[in-house]
Chain A
Amino acid sequence: MNPKSLSLPETGTVRPVTLRLQDRLAAQLPKLVLAPTVIVTLVAVYGYMIWTGLLSLTSSRILPVWKFIGTAQYSKLLENDRWGVAVENLIIFGGLFILICLVLGVLMAILLDQKIRAEGVLRTIYLYPMAISFIVTGTAWKWLLNPGLGLQKTIRDWGFESFTFDWLVNPDMVIYCLVIAAVWQSSGFVMALFLAGLRGVDQEMVKAAQLDGASMPMIYRRIILPCLKPVFFSAFVILSHIAIKSFDLVAALTGGGPGYSSDLPATFMYQHAFTRGQMGLGAASAMLMLGGVLAILVPYLYSELRSKKNG
């Protein structure tokens, strides 16, 4: 018996090999399945990032031309008044948009968390704007905010003749119109994130605090909200990249106007790269936008990875 069983691997060579092949295949299967998406991502995301970076160092005008001129496009960009306006607008728009969305989102989530009736219906109402594209939001708010058509006219028709709300056509205020529309669109989504977070907070802790005699605001401030730190981070990252890539909202709501007073970097990039025949300059502005995204994303990823290691 023993010799026979020992010789089994030699006599039955075919079976173990196929097994090994299957094993190998099984081991490689996840990589094989993932390969197409990895390749597509490498080419379509990172490849084009590098390509854009190279393009920003060339003198390309209406089409890519591989004549390298160093960082001239960047210095041209930084001297450009319009780019200055776009960056300034992004800081105002992004800052206010993120802040207001977070504050409103948390407030709405806390209020909805009070075990009220018809919560499902209310949640849907708040979340629904997210289902609408920014183009639709922009167009609708364009009508609402148009002085001769929307809010101002309606209130004047009611008899308040001196009422003025002309932000949409006022170069100094138009950027706040973008904030209004964007907040309307996204705060419900932030609320949903926080509501999910609130439901995940350990109720035992809350009960313990209540037994200790802590008031509800105190419990929220000291226990519940600190537990939601990861949600804060996620919401912040999502909102900030929405702000940086905002294009459709500007295109629909203001078209960058009056003049170019509501331009954002994304609309600047599109105009220069594709319609103005300044592809090199457009690529340079795209690289600076990428820099902006990375400046937010890298610290976030770093903290995420570190907390995983520790946790």
Chain B
Amino acid sequence: MKTFKTCLTSIALSIACATASAGEVEVLHYWTSGGEAAAVNVLKQEMESAGHTWTDFAVAGGGGESAMTVLKSRAISGNPPSAAQIKGLDIQEWGELGFLTSLDDVAAAGNWDSLLPPVVSDVMKYDGHYVAVPVNVHRVNWLWANPEAFKKAGVDIPTTWEEMIASGPKLKAASIIPLAHGGQAWQDATTFEAIALAEGADFYRKAFVEHDEATLKGPTMVKVLTTFKQLRDLIDADSSGRDWNVATSMVINGQAAMQIMGDWAKGEFTAAGKKPGTDYVCVAAPGTAGMFTFNIDSLAMFTQSDDSRAQAQKDLAAMVMDPKFQETFNLNKGSIPARQGMDPTPFDACALASMDDFTLSAEKGTLVPSMAHGMSTSSRVQGAIYDVVTNYFNASDITAEQAAEKLARAVNASL
């Protein structure tokens, strides 16, 4: 009887202890595809082994549009999740509305300032305080090519846009679609920004970060738009509305020769059992070697009223920056760690090239935020650019000059 009593008290005590230290984190994210979900699971297990409760709040939909809609309704009703997957300048919008909590103590303890390059940490801060934690860095200006297709047509993988356009007829003659593309606004913008980057990082920054009106409608922009329109000939007629991963699979099975897409495309190649260097080739998008358009996924932390939840939230932030998580997550996702000085051995050739270019371009000043992925502009300016770009790319009756004029006007109207 006595032993039973001691047992009972010890159980009761341990439960009491557990509830005292443990908190709940609810994480809203849209990492729902196979590799992504596996990556999130790592974080979940770590949180649970630290004694916290993890409530998964996954909202499917690649670009996170539906996730953001859900997040807004939760925020309006005064019940935001602990953390949400928010990107780029939208972090600033949420910070301005006063929803985000400061992570400065966690950041100081974890020495984030020295681990993160300034371009990354700037995005994570609102008003000088850390409010979000980065999980990865994607490179957007990649060209994915099927070497088999190029060999069949007898052309080299292009290194400039002129070469790419010139390679079109030969690839078509070998009945290969030169460029796999999905006719969705964000994919049009992804291609467009790669062409703009080829005109130099300064031009890119002036146009998409500073929104300089003269640059937006200047002759260089007209040139970029002209090249962009010429790519239309390289794309098959059915591209309208096609998803990016369908376009990637066209490159994988040799139906198409190449695709311009961020490094998340690598996940599709890996899932199809292809090896980099032999089955597929990853090179910087034409004319952008040594430059880097980044797209950073991050978790922004919302202010919590409950103390145990706030503590769990801080633990979550610290764990995301943990080398083990950064490695596992990015191996699954195809991206590179946001944290610097990681062990490179587990990563493949494409990721290693990406890591090198990231460091190099940061030194050379050719590291720029991706416009197409909401890193350089808020979602409303980005939307305005999308509209002009996608309309120009699809409509037959707009000249490059008119499109440049429209671009400047649309950006100004949405600022």
Contacts and interface: CB of A to CB of B under 8 A. Distances in A.
Interface stretch (A79-87, A109-117, A224-232): A79-87
A261 B185 CA distance: 12
B379 A255 contact: no
A146 B240 CA distance: 9
B390 A259 contact: yes
A62 B383 contact: no
A63 B76 contact: yes
B236 A171 contact: no
A76 B65 contact: no
A63 B394 contact: no
Interface string A133-164: 00000000010001111000000000000000
Contacts of B184: 255, 257
A185 to B, nearest CB: 20
A61 B93 contact: yes
A271 B395 CA distance: 21
* Interface range, A side: 20 to 34
A258 B93 contact: no
B68 A275 contact: yes
A62 B406 CA distance: 25
Contacts of A246: none
A245 interface: no
B97 interface: yes
Contact of A278 (B68, B380, B390): B380
A272 B380 CA distance: 8
A81 B406 contact: yes
Contact of B240 (A64, A76, A258): A258
Interface string B64-82: 0100110010011000000
A62 B93 contact: yes
Nearest to B68: A275
Interface string A50-66: 00000000000111110
Contacts of A171: 394-396
A96 to B, nearest CB: 21
B370 interface: no
Given A148-B238, A277-B378, A277-B379, A260 B387 contact: yes
A274 B393 CA distance: 25
A254 B382 CA distance: 21
Nearest to A272: B383
A276 B379 contact: yes
Interface in A155-181: 166, 168-169, 171-172
A148 B236 contact: yes
B415 to A, nearest CB: 11
Contact of A257 (B76, B97, B183, B382): B183
Interface in B184-206: 184-185, 188
Contacts of B65: 274-275
B94 interface: yes
Nearest to A256: B185
A63 to B, nearest CB: 6
A257 B379 contact: no
B413 interface: yes
Contact of A166 (B183, B237, B241, B392): B237
B233 to A, nearest CB: 15
Contact of A274 (B72, B93, B94, B414): B72
B90 interface: yes
B240 A257 contact: yes
B391 interface: yes
A275 B183 contact: no
A40 to B, nearest CB: 19
Q: Which of A63, A271, A276 has the most CB of B within 10 A?
A: A276
Given A149-B238, A261-B395, A79 B413 contact: yes
Contacts of A147: 237-238
Nearest to B97: A63
Interface in B358-415: 378-380, 382-383, 387, 390-396, 406, 410, 413-414
B94 A62 contact: yes
B242 to A, nearest CB: 10
B50 to A, nearest CB: 32
Contact of B379 (A82, A148, A261, A275): A275
Given A63-B72, A76-B413, A81 B387 contact: yes
B88 to A, nearest CB: 12
A171 B392 CA distance: 11
Given A81-B406, A259-B395, A276-B380, A63 B237 contact: no
A78 to B, nearest CB: 11
B72 A258 contact: no
A32 B94 CA distance: 44
Nearest to B65: A275
Interface in A237-261: 254-255, 257-261
B75 A63 contact: yes
Contacts of B185: 257, 259-260
Interface of A: 61-65, 76, 79-82, 142, 146-149, 166, 168-169, 171-172, 254-255, 257-261, 271-272, 274-278
18 contacts: A62-B90, A63-B72, A63-B97, A82-B391, A146-B238, A147-B238, A171-B396, A172-B396, A255-B184, A257-B184, A258-B240, A259-B390, A259-B391, A259-B394, A260-B185, A261-B395, A274-B65, A276-B380
Given A255-B241, A258-B183, A274-B68, 18 more contacts: A61-B93, A62-B93, A62-B94, A63-B76, A81-B406, A146-B238, A169-B238, A169-B240, A171-B396, A254-B240, A258-B240, A258-B241, A258-B394, A261-B391, A261-B395, A276-B383, A277-B90, A277-B378
Interface of B: 65, 68-69, 72, 75-76, 90, 93-94, 97, 183-185, 188, 236-241, 378-380, 382-383, 387, 390-396, 406, 410, 413-414
8 tightest A-B CB contacts, nearest first = A259-B394, A148-B238, A258-B394, A276-B383, A277-B379, A259-B390, A275-B65, A259-B391
